[in-house]
Amino acid sequence: MTTTQDRPAPLDEIKIGGLGSSRRRVEDNRFIRGRGNYIDDVVLPGMLHMEILRSPIAHGRIKSIDVSKAYAIPGVRLVITGEMMATRNLAWMPTLSYDTQAVLATDKVRFQGQEVAAVIADDPYIAKDGCEAIVVDYEQLPPIVNPTQAQAADAPLIRDDKESQADNVCFTWQVGDKENTEKAFAQADVVSKIDLHYPRTHPSPLECCGSVADFDRATGKLTVYMTSQAPHIVRAAVALIAELPEHMIRIISPDLGGGFGNKVPVYPGYVVSILASILTERPVKWIEDRTGNLISTGFGRDVYLHGEVAMRNDGKILAVKMNTVSDHGAFYADAQPSKFKIGLMHSAFAAYDIPYAYLDSIGYYTNKAPGGVAYRCSFRVTEAMFFQERMIHAAADDVGIDQAEFRRINLVKDDDFPHRTPYGFLTDSGQYEKCLRVGMEAIGYDQFRRDQEEARKRGRLLGLGISTMTEPLGAGNSREYDILGIKMFDSAELRVHMTGKAILRTGAKTQGQGHETTWPQIVAHELGIPAEDIVVEEGDTDTAPFGMGTYASRSTPVAGAAVAMAARKVRAKARKIAAHLLEVSEEDVEWELGRFHVRSAPERGVTIQECAMAAYANMPDGMEPGLEATSYYDPPNLTWPFAAYFCTVEIDPATGVWDVLRFVAVDDCGVRINPLVIEGQIMGGLTEAYAMANMQFITFDVDGNCIGSNFMDFLLPTAWETPGWELHEVVTPCPHHPIGAKGVGECATVAGPAAFVNAVVDALKPYGVRNIDMPMLPDRVYEAITTRSDVSGAPPVRTDR
Ligand code: MCN
Ligand code: CUM
């Protein structure tokens, strides 16, 4: 046994890569060297290639499919149609919102880009040729491309496959206190109203979706490499849909080239590649192309809002009403907790002290791709906060109070936690006013307002937009949150080897967020094992403990908590080993970072590494050997980070082009594991927010053709047009998270867009403009200036409910 003679200097947590260390991302070592292992890098012996034939039209009945010409092409091995899927009961699959979705169309096509058939061939080019040789005879039906058309009396029924479906409504959902909300409105001095559209947008990971399915008839084992943010859910889904035994299914998510929510749903391509491998008894690879991705996979937003705010003359908000109409495409495939039909839209106004609120929502089927909840959004929180901050901006203007002051009046005060939000959530911590103040000082709020006044006199259009919000991240506790009945806990397994090095596996799945870097920091904090001595593995269902995956910024709140809890279990066992090594009772052993010592003699101690060795070489009598632990963590509550964003813009009145002058972001995500990674998350998210506000446009013409199906039309900002971001931090620890952390991965896309729109609208206030819908393209801004009215890119919203 080795005990240290002199008391060693305490470990420096930052030096060992613990909490608060800005250690560089370890995964980047392989990414920037081109040594990542993405889905298209997976090559198996004898592998075939699959291509999907997609519908060219938005709505039509399939009269016939002739695949004979495809089979005539040398190298084509198999053609799969919906009919073939149907004989195996696989033509339809369940969605994550208790609807059904066609895997390959049998009866009708319901959106442009829908999967109709698949060709499996020796190489991807032959497969593509095979698709072109398939002849499909469609009877065209009138397409529906927005909710206004969907609700028309003579609208064609999109989901005629569903017996109980008589119209195009996919759900209605209400929440809040209607009666008291109405009473508050009756007593209000001022009522502010606004109509908004959060346009459809699309997550655009650099890597599109794909899979390599490998069914081994000899062992009965199905291995699927795929681009999934939630591999365990896929395993469960495949077991249930394909009726394969779960222990014979292995889902592996290799390196993902971004996800942004795009890789949460189960897509037809995955399912068809699995059947193709079973039928051909060869591995089958499917790699989606960019247009396939943009026209068929999970989109984000596409929600219309009619909002009303009831206020007193002094600016105190008494109640809010929200009426949302959302477009869900042809299948209700939103990935969201099953209790909530419009996701967490009712998290709106959580940061504000408002007694009453009422949300009435209705969702429609249309002839567009299904999706709904994707793109850095934590289940429609992005829409909720955008609507909230646009309503707050309009309300402040309508009651005639300065934007910052109006927020200060209505934000929840530090002493008021825990706070029950108007729609019933419980928020537990925050320093909202401090964040607001930090942001105001950083942007030079008062000076800018003076400059703005001066500039207006000289015909220059300057604007300042604020966006403040708290959002629910980390779904979620098992009482309330489940997806298809599976509770939304998460997990971690920590195995410490005899030399004190360790492997950590979690039920989450990083897509670029840096889990390989940040999870070891939690272990370093809990155990004093240097972060560089810990390797992280995620995404393999044969080795990782069951978890619900990575989305809704839930990894830190849930899996990250599980990491801390697993490390604490390891420490508890190590303590027993330390007592044995030090020959004292456990109560006499005290923990310091990385070391146990005898309470009365701190120089007598053993390091965590020495305990690890003893766990394999010198354990106490009767103790199980080894040093490892697993934790399944059911979080007591969501985490509630806060953001206060300030954006200043200048608009060129001659062209409608607007430039960001400055953007100040103050984020409070609780205890920061890795400040550098957080900054990366926020800068990336702000860039995406800027893209949505400024340039990204994915829309549909009257025939249901997707406009924006490639990167020539749907723009990604480059470093050239992206503004500089000025980041600031406030830290309010989360009271229930083991290390006090809150989620952060989506804060910037959630809070960001309203800051840009509020800034542009603020600049146009002298023209009487109250709204311009995103994307605020120069022609829209110019039109608002010249017509002196709001510019909406959207069909009128239904307000009669
Ligand atoms: N972190 C931290 N301290 C905190 C909170 C988080 O250091 N207090 C670190 C975490 O350890 C993690 C990162 O920040 O490395 C993000 O953590 P978290 O907020 O828990 O979010 P998730 O890991 O669950 O990531 C999901 C979130 C979502 S839902 C989308 S969408 C999104 C996003 O992350 N997609 C991304 N950021 C992305 N970033 C990249 N590069 N690629 C994507 O696809
Ligand atoms: Cu909603 S996109 Mo993220 O939660 O994977």
Residue 442 has pLDDT above 80, yes or no: yes
For the CA of 377, the nearest atom of ligand 2: 1
Which one from 101, 114, 149, 229 is the annotated catalytic residue? 229
Does residue 603 carry a catalytic annotation?
no
Residue owning the nearest CA to atom 37 of ligand 1: 745
Q: Are the beta carbons of 573 and 552 closer than 8 angstroms? A: no
d(CA 692, CA 697): 8
- Does the pLDDT value for residue 29 go beyond 60? yes
Average pLDDT value for the chain: 96
pLDDT band at 298 (very low <50, low <70, confident <90, very high): very high
- Residue 15 CB neighbours (<10 A): 10
Q: Is the pLDDT of residue 749 over 90?
A: yes
pLDDT band at 799 (very low <50, low <70, confident <90, very high): very low
Q: How much is the average pLDDT of 34-63?
A: 98
Q: Which ligand is nearest to the CA of 380?
A: 2
Are 421 and 427 in contact, with CB atoms under 8 Å apart? yes
Peptide bond into 476 cis (omega under 30): yes
User: Do the Cβ atoms of 353 and 410 come closer than 8 Å?
Assistant: yes
Q: Are 568 and 655 in contact (CB under 8 A)?
A: no
Cite the DSSP H helix spans in 208-282: 231-241, 268-280
Strand partners, 596: 591, 606
Alpha carbon of residue 742 to chain centroid:
15
Q: Relative to the CA of 747, which ligand 1 atom is closest?
A: 19
Q: How far is the CA of 260 from the centre of ligand 2 (A)?
A: 5
If pLDDT is split at 50, 70 and 90, which confidence band does 798 have? very low
Percent of the chain with pLDDT over 70: 98
The minimum-distance atom of ligand 2 relative to the CA of 229 is 5
Alpha-carbon distance of 200 to 779, in angstroms, equals 19
What's the pLDDT at 5?
63
CB 385 within 8 A of CB 754: yes
Return the closest-CA partner of residue 491 out of 468, 532, 519: 519
Residue whose CB lies within 8 A of the most ligand 1 atoms, among 27, 375, 553, 683, for a mutation test: 553
Q: Return the amino acid letter for 223.
A: T
Per-residue pLDDT reduced to its tens digit, 602-649: 999 999 999 999 999 999 999 999 999 999 999 999 999 999 999 999
* Confidence band for 600, pLDDT divided at 50, 70 and 90: very high
Predicted confidence at residue 241, as pLDDT, reads 80
Contact of 48 with 280, CB cutoff 8 Å: yes
The ligand whose atoms approach the alpha carbon of 31 most closely is 1
Mean pLDDT in residue range 322-342? 96
Residue 746 bears catalytic tag: yes
From the CA of 672, the nearest ligand is: 1
pLDDT digits (tens, 9 = 90+) for 636-676: 999 999 999 999 999 999 999 999 999 999 999 999 999 99
The residue nearest atom 5 of ligand 1, judged by CA position, is 743
From the CA of 260, how far away is ligand 1's center (Å)?
Answer: 10
CB 628 within 8 A of CB 493: yes
* pLDDT tier, 338 (very low <50, low <70, confident <90, very high otherwise): very high
Residue with tokens 């909406």: 792
On the question of pLDDT at 280 being above 60, the answer is yes
Tell me which residues have their CB closer than 6 angstroms to ligand 1: 205, 258-261, 376, 511-515, 518, 550-556, 669-674, 677-678, 681, 684, 741-746
| Ligand 1 nearest-atom number relative to CA 678 | 14
Residue-wise pLDDT for 686-735, tens only, equals 999 999 999 999 999 999 999 999 999 999 999 999 999 999 999 999 99
- The predicted-structure confidence for 358-374, as pLDDT tens digits, reads as follows 999 999 999 999 987 78
Instruction: Given the residues 746, 747, 770, 780, select the one marked as catalytic.
Output: 746
Query: 25, 54, 376, 604: which one is catalytic?
Result: 376
- Catalytic residue check, 376: yes
Which residue has its alpha carbon closest to ligand 1 atom 16?
Answer: 745
pLDDT tens-digit profile of 548-570? 999 999 999 999 999 999 999 99
Nearest-atom number in ligand 2 for the CA of 335 is 1
pLDDT in tens, 188-197: 999 999 999 9
pLDDT, tens only, 379-392: 999 999 999 999 99
Mutate to test the pocket of ligand 2, among 228, 483, 551 (most ligand atoms within 8 A of CB): 551
List pocket residues of ligand 2, CB cut-off 6 Å: 229, 259-261, 264, 373-378, 551-552
pTM of the model: 0.97
Q: What is the distance in A from the centroid of ligand 1 to the CA of 719?
A: 21
- Segment 458-467 shows an average pLDDT of 97
